Structure 1
Amino acid sequence: MKLTLFIVLGLACVAYGQKVGTQTPEVHLSLSMENCESGSCTTESTKIVLDSNWRWTHVVDDYVNCYEGNTWSPEFCPDSVTCTENCAIDGVDDASWSGTYGVTTTGFELTLQFVTEGPYSTNIGSRVYLLADDNNYRVFYLKNREFIIDVDSSELPCGLNEAGAAYGVGYCDAQCPHDMKFIGGMANCDDWEPSDNDPNSGAGKMGICCFEMDIWEANSMAQSFTPHDCSITGYYPCEGIECGDNPDDRYSGVCDKDGCDWAAYRLNQKEFFGPGLTVDSSQPITLVTQFITSDGTDNGDLVEVRRIYIQNGVTIQNTQVDFDGITPYDSVSDDYCSEIKDFFGDVQAFAEKGGMKALGESLDRGHVLVMSLWDDHYSHMLWLDSNWPLDADPATPGIARGPCPIDSGVPSEVEAEYPDATVKFSNIKIGPIQSY
């Protein structure tokens, strides 16, 4: 059975701007976390906010849509400036969280449902951010810290992943996405091209870039964690070659789209993660991610990102690279990234963009927690859980990334067959190294 869902728990920079509608009151769901940085743990009354891309976009002070399906209204959005003046994003009320978007919380736990049949449309997936309060994102400073979260992806058999913080605007990542409806407070409607295989999405002229630390990209069959560097700082709107969009320009952009991934299956450890394996994906998993510095202080350079798993009270150390002639690394470091990319024949983009030191400098500036569930209309998530690229020999090291078949992951099939698929994130915690 094939389920193309994708979970990403990432840390991405965020910025904001643009108009707020008044037709629906905004409600933020409570999702508490623990802060253990002082040596003892205290509960923070944090909340979640829905990403602006999922929100109703309409004419200011009216109920007329500015964006419908995967196209902008030519009447209200003939260009970015006019559209920004005419249009607003609206709130998400209590009923809409679960009834429209399939998102619920209780105490320390968040649940995201894949397909939700709402009163006006069918919603696919979701993306939410953690808030410190109703008007500010909860910013994490992770250097010389560890980030802990429980994840239950047992229901995901293969493949499935001027409004301000109060309205979930400002998403960015190292892929410099063009599908964001608003970038830097402006409508991204110029040169907008509706997707030919996604009825809800498209791509505009502008992309939006920033550093990205993927804590968890996974389903029940495969997983990875991946830092991505950029040559810029903060929230950076891009256009053309700077975005690195097409294959010829992929490595000419301002961000490292590949990142330096740690994926057990791709590293030839095919019995480490999955149902019934060493890390058993049929059960909840506690993820401990440590950001280790050169001198063990907050001021040192970042030199290592280390992963530890906990299940049923048992601590499981990360597995090692398992290729002849390759150092058996068990964490992400500059040496690991350099050696494994040479071995796989990958471009050394992570090192070229500054490596671990640059990532540490981004962590010093602060990142925001993003939790999402989505399917992949571009590559059907094969880059995560199958063979990728498809024209390469799967026997070549680095091509096999998971056990899923290469014809799996078609979004229309997944959405029809597994609408009730869910993922749960819970017990978010930040603290000193080895506080787990």
Structure 2
Amino acid sequence: MAKMALSLALGLLELALLSAVLSAQKIGTHVAEQHPEMPLWTCSALGDCTKETLTVVMDSNWRWIHDGQYTNCFKDGAWDAMLCPDPDTCSSNCHLEGASTQEYASTYGVHVVSDGLMLDFVTATQYGENYGSRLYMMEDAATYKMFHLKNREFTFTADSSQLHCGMNGAVYFVEMQADGGLAKSSGKNEAGAAYGTGYCDAQCPHDLKFIEGEANIIDWNSTSNPPVGHYGACCAEMDIWEANSRATAYTPHPCDITGLERCEGVACGDKNERYDGVCDKDGCDFNSWRLGDREFFGNDGTFRVNSAKPVTLVTQFITHDGTDSGDLVDIRRFYVQDGKVIQNSEASMAGVSGDSVTDQLCADLKSASGDTNDFKRKGGLKVMGEALDRGMVLVFSLWDDSVSDMLWLDSDFPATANPTDPGVSRGPCDTTSGKPKFLRATYPEASVTFSQVKVGAIGSTESADRRLGELSV
């Protein structure tokens, strides 16, 4: 569900430099784009890891969009009627501005730290406030890094100690196009991946200002929170880490489609048509608290994974025959903290067993909780594996949730359901604790740090000494 992340619209005031909830397709000329550095280690089956210095780019929805000079195309949740009377004219008139590395920090709260990034929740400037961020790892100056994770493992270290109930410091993969939709837009998108265009996810977000190079102004609802347009942008999504200091989950979301699809109507799966859309919006979430282990993850030393300290997490994508071409059958997780390997929790919900995401665990969880098994209907792990095989883009984000207050991650969801019913309680947070207005006013100093990102063969990204060391159970 990281995709409610798009509800994270920037709360910027009218001045141009902070009109960051905006996106555009032409390239502005006021500020040269500079991508902050972030390293990636690639590891072989022998355990040898090679460090490569790559970069990240800010999503286009956070950027200033203007007419090529200093007039905003979009302000206060609404499009300028003169510059944007229709989608094509708007795309032609509007420019997406770059950001320097200094502005990444001072305007968006994105800081380069040792071997990684720190993302601030609230960044205040003389012009207003920016809330959270979403960034993509780059292969080069104009192309997203494409990860092929089947029969691989993905590892990084997270420090979520400063994240409160209702916040989500997320690391995930989505099936965006490597060029940010440049080629597919038929010339409408001139900015591309270099400026963070082309986002999509399994929630089929409608709050993207441009989709496939076209302004999403049809039926634009500026009174919605966040403002939304007629079209959505759907694609497969693999949530590796959605977490604050109180709860966490990892979740595959398969889709019936290949790559990004601009959706409308039933295909988007909105509201009462949730399970008729092209993507599995619920996914199959492995949330230790929801699955019955209330002592596994939390913010002090009484929990086996102590979120008050950094923790390294390893996610393995297992195929049925141990080859790159095999079908995905299992998504496994373990943690490393204080030099100890911590095995993932075992499900203890009645009728559900296992310590990883398999089709069987997903079916049992859906049955026990009374949820629709859209995961199976959308093809389950096999289809998720096909998306991983095609290649997906790595996303880092920090966000709050104006749609459902992040209750689906860390509290009782739905809030009106009986919390003692199977699957309703997702974490220890109160149902009133995740309101964005409260969070932004009360915890502006919150942040999350992601570092030591590694990818490689199964068993390669964490040392054999740790794997064979003392197990914490």
The letter for the 1-side match of 2:44 is E
Distance 1:166 1:372, change over 3 A: same
Aligned partner (choices 423, 437, 457) of residue 432 of structure 1: 457
1:19-58 aligned at under 5 Å gives the runs 19-37=26-44, 39=46, 40-58=48-66
Partner SS, residue 254 of structure 1:
coil
Distance 1:17 1:83, change over 3 A: closer
Answering whether residue 284 of structure 2 is matched by residue 256 of structure 1, we say: no
Summarize deviations over 1:50-107 as a string: whole Å, max 9, x none: 0000000111x21100011211111111111111011011101132111100101134
Partner SS, residue 131 of structure 1:
strand
Compute the RMSD of aligned alpha carbons. 1.6
Q: Give the aligned partner of residue 283 of structure 1.
A: 309
Q: Give the aligned partner of residue 436 of structure 2.
A: 411
Q: CA deviation at 1:399?
A: 0.3
The runs of 4+ residues in structure 1 deviating greater than 2 Å are: 118-121
The letter for the 2-side match of 1:135 is A
Partner SS, residue 26 of structure 2:
coil
The letter for the 2-side match of 1:239 is E
Partner SS, residue 400 of structure 1:
coil
Give the conservation status (yes or no) of the 8 Å contact 2:25–2:94: no
Query: Structure 1: how far apart are the matches of 2:49 and 2:277?
Result: 41
Give the conservation status (yes or no) of the 8 Å contact 2:24–2:94: no
Q: Give the aligned partner of residue 11 of structure 1.
A: none
Answering whether residue 133 of structure 2 is matched by residue 126 of structure 1, we say: yes
Partner SS, residue 27 of structure 2:
coil
Aligned partner (choices 106, 128, 133) of residue 99 of structure 1: 106
Give the conservation status (yes or no) of the 8 Å contact 1:7–1:371: no
Q: Give the aligned partner of residue 12 of structure 1.
A: none
The letter for the 1-side match of 2:227 is G
Distance 1:174 1:7, change over 3 A: closer
1:144-223 aligned at under 5 Å gives the runs 144-161=151-168, 162=189, 163-196=191-224, 198=225, 201-223=226-248
Deviates more, 1:35-44 or 1:134-143: 35-44
Query: Structure 2: how far apart are the matches of 1:17 and 1:306?
Result: 39
Q: Give the aligned partner of residue 366 of structure 1.
A: 391
Answering whether residue 298 of structure 2 is matched by residue 270 of structure 1, we say: no
Q: CA deviation at 1:17?
A: 9.4
Q: Give the aligned partner of residue 296 of structure 1.
A: 322
Distance 1:264 1:195, change over 3 A: farther
Q: Give the aligned partner of residue 354 of structure 1.
A: 379
Give the conservation status (yes or no) of the 8 Å contact 2:369–2:423: yes
Q: Give the aligned partner of residue 83 of structure 2.
A: 76
Partner SS, residue 362 of structure 1:
helix
Query: Structure 1: how far apart are the matches of 2:327 and 2:101?
Result: 44
Query: Structure 2: how far apart are the matches of 1:149 and 1:372?
Result: 14
Query: Structure 2: how far apart are the matches of 1:134 and 1:275?
Result: 38
Q: Give the aligned partner of residue 423 of structure 1.
A: 448
Give the conservation status (yes or no) of the 8 Å contact 1:7–1:219: no
Identity of aligned residues (%): 51
Q: Give the aligned partner of residue 141 of structure 1.
A: 148
Q: Unaligned stretches of 5+ in structure 1? A: 1-5, 9-15
Partner SS, residue 257 of structure 2:
coil
Query: Structure 2: how far apart are the matches of 1:334 and 1:377?
Result: 31
Q: Unaligned stretches of 5+ in structure 2? A: 7-22, 169-188, 463-473
Query: Structure 2: how far apart are the matches of 1:100 and 1:393?
Result: 42
Give the conservation status (yes or no) of the 8 Å contact 2:24–2:91: no
Q: Give the aligned partner of residue 468 of structure 2.
A: none
Partner SS, residue 74 of structure 1:
coil
Partner SS, residue 202 of structure 1:
coil
Q: Give the aligned partner of residue 3 of structure 1.
A: none
Query: Structure 1: how far apart are the matches of 2:223 and 2:287?
Result: 30
Query: Structure 2: how far apart are the matches of 1:327 and 1:231?
Result: 27
Q: CA deviation at 1:431?
A: 1.0
Partner SS, residue 276 of structure 2:
coil
The letter for the 2-side match of 1:54 is W
Query: Structure 1: how far apart are the matches of 2:231 and 2:110?
Result: 29
Give the conservation status (yes or no) of the 8 Å contact 2:45–2:458: no
TM-score, length basis structure 1:
0.93
Distance 1:107 1:32, change over 3 A: farther
Partner SS, residue 329 of structure 2:
strand
The letter for the 1-side match of 2:94 is C
Higher relative contact order (CA 8 A, sep 6+): 1
Summarize deviations over 1:309-355 as a string: whole Å, max 9, x none: 1101100010111023x242110011111111011111010110111
Give the conservation status (yes or no) of the 8 Å contact 2:352–2:368: no
